[in-house]
Chain A
Amino acid sequence: MILTLVLVCLAVAVFLAGRRKAVSLTGGRTSVLHSRPVYHGFYVALACGLPAMSLWFLVLLAGDWMIDRTVVAALPGELREASGPVLQRFLNDAETLAGGGVPTIGITPELEAAAASFSHLTLLKHWIGFGAALGLGLIAAGLAMRRIDISRRTRQPVERVLLVVLLALAAISVLTTAGIVFSVLFEAIRFFDEVPFLDFLFGVKWSPQIALREDQVGSSGAFGAVPLFTGTLLITLIAMLVAGPVGLLSAVYLTEYADPRLRATAKPILEILAGIPTVVYGFFAALVVAPALREAGAGIGLDVASESALAAGLVMGMMIIPFVSSLTDDALAAVPADLRDASLGLGATQQETVTRVIIPAALPGIVAGFLLAVSRAIGETMIVVMAAGLAANLTANPLEAVTTVTVQIVTLLVGDQEFDSAKTLAAFALGLTLFLVTLGLNIVALRMVQKYQEQYD
């Protein structure tokens, strides 16, 4: 670690030296240089640092393997002939002992000898590797320094390296996503080996617990996900019934009617709502809204479950209001002022202008915002875990408890589980479904936003 830091310091020092040399070549008027002094610095630093670092990491990686080989070669015959796991365990113990830890087997002379050779070789590896890396870096730096010249094109190679670095960073997020998708996909395929695909998609009975207890996974038919889909849809619908009108109208108010000063304060406040952790909304749903609904229901003679789709949906709706309103606000604000003037100039009232010109013109953006909100509502977990319940009822009654895809994923994976039972694997199938649905919604929504933007460019 410290040695790595030394190499970094070397690169920095070389950077400064390279830059200084470039400046000194010009006598202060750096405009005569082909590339700016900074690039000369980076050029030398990269020329020095890249090979040195590569060599250093190579030594660190390959060194351990070589040390293992050397230690094994020095072992007495019967140990050297031992089976893989035994040998591996011996080596691990030797390494632990060398590092000052307590090995799992008793300390034998062989182990001590191996440990001693381990620590000796590791030290050797560090110093040889470091020396080689340092030497290589210095030589490379020296060569690069000599090449610094007024007309030297150092910007192009430096920018090429930077480009590669940027590309690698950009690739990280994409690759991670791909990794997630594939791991979910493969687990889901394993699930579908045990439970037929159509039973999962169209079955109306969901009770993974029973299936596990009776040890009758595939044939019990308890993995019908329809109740989960309907539960998710019901809650999403309720949420959108709350968030849609409220979000749309608040955005209309803020963009078209509100005083700019009010807008400047109200908009950030509305957006703060989006920053509240959803688990807090969950508390609110479970402790305030659900009991209140139940009492209100009892007051008018309705039987409301203590965990109801309505409570979860209402609170989720409140959660996505800022989302809807912020996206709608952007869509409305993107409508050119020309159109407002045109409508007002024809003697239209403010309200006619909003309903007949502004909203139709912004409609694709608004719809896209709604779709993104729906996809958030479908994927939302905490609120429904806390407020919607676990019972997989196939019902359209918002006063009953329902469960959603996300809630079931949580309950399937929480706690000690075997990772190859159909119960656990079902979570991946649900996850895959969820992923595909929200992906579809997002793609459609982004397409619409794109089209909409083209219209006014």
Chain B
Amino acid sequence: MVEAAATRDAPRVKMRTRGLKLWYGDKQALAGIDLDVAEHQVTALIGPSGCGKTTFLKCLNRMTDTINDVTTEGSVTLDDVDIRDRSVDVVQLRARVGMVFQKPNPFPKTVYDNIAYGPRIHGLAANRRELDDIVESSLRRAGLWEEVQGRLGDLATGMSGGQQQRLCIARSIAVAPEVILMDEPCSALDPISTARIEELIDDLRTKYTIVIVTHNLQQAARVSQMTAFFHLGRLIEVNGTAELFQSPAESMTEDYITGRFG
């Protein structure tokens, strides 16, 4: 990964959190997270279950707003603008910071309508032709075009799990986001589908900034350039993926990646 090493020399920070704290009711889930997400890189968030990595991910596009009884503190910036600021509209934020969920969740609509959903609500296409182009290019970028080309009118819910997840990725690409958040996107998939999605993530990096939560350490090692290790709502260590896995600075990180706990 010579290229990755080269880009890491001068990484532009796309998103940055400072002192990010979050409570579910009176239970604290995040205890002050400072993390920089570099542009055009894949940042992997690892850590044992319940360590706050998914919660942190949801803070990055304010999906936490949809949960009741959540309070947050600290700052989250996107291109140096605080997304928690009143001036930032959550709808526009989520168009710029897309999300792919753990379980594939296509709408019970056709393949075409699934992809076209985002462009339609955001008014990205002036006419049907442009919309067709967006659908096609999104599906191509998600590596799904060859498979569904002739079946755009079929229900998306009838596809295989791996196809559904790539459809969900294509769906989020279709609104032309800058950042894509992925919450364990492969945990419900078989190894072959997983491999395809990992390849896809590596491709997507050139255009987008990606933050991925994963339980699979090999996956983190394969797809990411930066890795952040979370434990009990704290960010224990963040470093280049190769460095973090080869010579972790913290003993807790070492214990986790060598399988001693977690």
Complex: chain A residue closest to B62, CB-CB: A344
Q: Does B40 contact A (CB under 8 A)?
A: no
Complex: chain A residue closest to B122, CB-CB: A347
A238-290 contacts to B (CB < 8 Å)? 260
Q: Is the CB of B171 within 8 A of A346?
A: yes
Complex: chain A residue closest to B99, CB-CB: A345
Known: A342-B168, A345-B101, A347-B122. A361 touches B94 (CB 8 A): no
Q: Does A348 contact B (CB under 8 A)?
A: yes
Partner of A347 from B68, B93, B107 at Cβ < 8 Å? B93
Q: Which residues of B contact A347 (CB under 8 A)?
A: 91-96, 98, 118, 121-122, 175
Q: Distance in Å from the Cβ of B63 to the closest Cβ of chain A?
A: 6
Partner of B175 from A260, A346, A361 at Cβ < 8 Å? A346
A341-358 contacts to B (CB < 8 Å)? 341-349, 352, 356-357
Q: Does B109 contact A (CB under 8 A)?
A: yes
In the bound assembly, the distance between CA atoms of A392 and B156 in angstroms comes to: 52
Q: Is the CB of B66 within 8 A of A344?
A: yes
Q: Distance in Å from the Cβ of B217 to the closest Cβ of chain A?
A: 26
Known: A260-B68, A339-B105, A455-B108. A344 touches B94 (CB 8 A): yes
Q: Is the CB of A345 within 8 A of B68?
A: no
Q: Distance in Å from the Cβ of B120 to the closest Cβ of chain A?
A: 8
In the bound assembly, the distance between CA atoms of A357 and B107 in angstroms comes to: 7
Complex: chain A residue closest to B119, CB-CB: A346
Q: Does A336 contact B (CB under 8 A)?
A: yes
Q: Residues 102-115 of chain B: 1 if any A CB is under 8 Å from the residue's CB, otherwise 0?
A: 01011111000000
Q: Residues 321-335 of chain A: 1 if any B CB is under 8 Å from the residue's CB, otherwise 0?
A: 000000000000000
Q: Does B61 contact A (CB under 8 A)?
A: yes
Q: Which residues of A contact B91 (CB under 8 A)?
A: 347-349
The A-B contact count (CB < 8 A) is 69
Q: Does B239 contact A (CB under 8 A)?
A: no
- For chain A, which range describes its interface: under 10, 10 to 19, 20 to 34, or 35 or more residues? 20 to 34
Complex: chain B residue closest to A362, CB-CB: B108
Majority SS at the chain B contact face: helix
Q: Is the CB of B101 within 8 A of A344?
A: no
Q: Is the CB of A339 within 8 A of B172?
A: no
Q: Which residues of A contact B103 (CB under 8 A)?
A: 338
Q: Which residues of A contact B109 (CB under 8 A)?
A: 360
Complex: chain B residue closest to A346, CB-CB: B118
Complex: chain B residue closest to A341, CB-CB: B101
Q: Residues 359-388 of chain A: 1 if any B CB is under 8 Å from the residue's CB, otherwise 0?
A: 011000000000000000000000000000
Complex: chain A residue closest to B108, CB-CB: A361
Q: Does B219 contact A (CB under 8 A)?
A: no
Q: Distance in Å from the Cβ of A343 to the closest Cβ of chain B?
A: 7
Q: Is the CB of A346 within 8 A of B94?
A: yes
Complex: chain A residue closest to B168, CB-CB: A342
Q: Which residues of A contact B106 (CB under 8 A)?
A: 342
Q: Which residues of B contact A348 (CB under 8 A)?
A: 91, 117-118, 121
In the bound assembly, the distance between CA atoms of A342 and B63 in angstroms comes to: 10
Q: Which residues of B contact A344 (CB under 8 A)?
A: 63, 66, 94
Q: Which residues of B contact A338 (CB under 8 A)?
A: 101, 103, 105
Q: Does A34 contact B (CB under 8 A)?
A: no
Q: Distance in Å from the Cβ of B52 to the closest Cβ of chain A?
A: 18
Known: A341-B63, A347-B95, A361-B108. A356 touches B121 (CB 8 A): yes
Q: Which residues of B contact A361 (CB under 8 A)?
A: 107-108
Q: Does A155 contact B (CB under 8 A)?
A: no
Q: Residues 314-326 of chain A: 1 if any B CB is under 8 Å from the residue's CB, otherwise 0?
A: 0000000000000
Q: Distance in Å from the Cβ of B209 to the closest Cβ of chain A?
A: 16
In the bound assembly, the distance between CA atoms of A232 and B257 in angstroms comes to: 72
In the bound assembly, the distance between CA atoms of A260 and B68 in angstroms comes to: 9
Q: Does A294 contact B (CB under 8 A)?
A: no
Q: Which residues of A contact B108 (CB under 8 A)?
A: 339, 360-361, 455
Q: Distance in Å from the Cβ of A29 to the closest Cβ of chain B?
A: 42
Q: Distance in Å from the Cβ of B159 to the closest Cβ of chain A?
A: 14
Q: Which residues of A contact B175 (CB under 8 A)?
A: 346-347
B155-191 contacts to A (CB < 8 Å)? 157, 168, 171-172, 175
Q: Distance in Å from the Cβ of B62 to the closest Cβ of chain A?
A: 10
In the bound assembly, the distance between CA atoms of A139 and B106 in angstroms comes to: 69
Q: Is the CB of A341 within 8 A of B105?
A: yes
Q: Residues 66-95 of chain B: 1 if any A CB is under 8 Å from the residue's CB, otherwise 0?
A: 101000000000000000000000011111
Q: Distance in Å from the Cβ of A172 to the closest Cβ of chain B?
A: 40
Q: Distance in Å from the Cβ of A384 to the closest Cβ of chain B?
A: 39
10 A–B contacts, CB within 8 A, in A order: A260-B68, A339-B108, A341-B99, A345-B63, A345-B98, A345-B101, A345-B172, A346-B117, A347-B95, A349-B121
In addition to A339-B105, A348-B121, 10 A-B residue pairs with Cβ atoms within 8 Å of each other are A338-B105, A342-B171, A343-B117, A345-B98, A345-B172, A346-B118, A346-B175, A347-B93, A347-B94, A347-B175
The 7 closest A-B pairs by CB, nearest first: A347-B95, A338-B105, A345-B99, A347-B94, A346-B118, A342-B105, A348-B121
Residues of A that sit less than 8 Å from B by CB: 260, 336, 338-349, 352, 356-357, 360-361, 455
Residues of B that sit less than 8 Å from A by CB: 61, 63, 66, 68, 91-96, 98-99, 101, 103, 105-109, 117-118, 121-122, 157, 168, 171-172, 175
